[in-house]
Amino acid sequence: MTDGAAGDDGHGLIAGRYRLDARIGSGAMGVVWRAHDLRLDRGVAVKQLLLPPALDATEADTARQRAFREGRIAARLQHPNAISVFNVAEHDDQPVLVMEYLPSRSLAALLDDRGTLPAEETARVGAQVAAALTAAHAAGVVHRDVKPGNILLGEDGTAKITDFGISRAAGDVTLTSTGLFAGTPAFLAPETARGADPDAAADVFSLGATLYAAVEGGPPYEDPGNEIALLHAVASGHVLPPRNAGALTTSLRAMLRVEPGTRPRMAEVEVLLRRV
């Protein structure tokens, strides 16, 4: 079977070459496995994207094609602080991404354990992510879904951002055809919540919201108790001022400006965070 072909070879292999070893994560958008690439004899991560069951055949096909397209775009980016995409395949009619495997835990999991992080530690993580996003923006790639769950922290302290473009592929930050919102809006930029297509400035805001959550213990919006009300609060741009950010306060305020054109560019964000 050729590289990236649909289905398996009858022995449980994805695309005829990837053996699934252990399930290491799951969420609304898919399931992640630690796997082994038999052709290149190396460990990889395999993400099976789960398309919303409410989609009809035409919508599902459109979503699959979008997943392949976004996966190919993500594969263009090679940066030490971004999880590399090696391959895009299909299995059981669902898109599959084959990515670099990093023994790690997500920033979301770390915050679940510790509650908050010191400003300097948060800035160190943020600067690494900003470096990867700077390279992505220079290559014309927008992440679209920067949040604690998409930042992986390696055992050596390296931070890497994952899931480039996957939010668009899976419809995670758009209103679905059924009118239901998929995914949490807590880290969206106001203009994205209002329906604008996310751009580089939206990534800046989302990274700011992520770092805000790391030092403050939650996203920069009051929690109204349901996602529709939260989406309205996000669209209104009612950001809560940081109270525990210390040396990060100035950077966060700049990144979380409501108007996209007034936010610093991602390269400037990296400089600000490295100073902290």
Instruction: Give the active site residue among 37, 145, 172, 203.
Output: 145
The rounded distance, in Å, linking the Cα atoms of 64 and 58 is 10
Rg (CA), the chain: 18
Report residue 33: phi and psi, to 5°. Answer: -120, 145
User: Is 145 among the residues known to form the active site?
Assistant: yes
257's tokens:
């400006």
74's tokens:
């993500």
In 3D space, the residue among 157, 148, 80, 127 whose CA is nearest the CA of residue 271 turns out to be 127
Report residue 160: phi and psi, to 5°. Answer: -135, 140
CA angle 249, 250, 251 (to 5 degrees): 95
Active-site residue numbers?
145
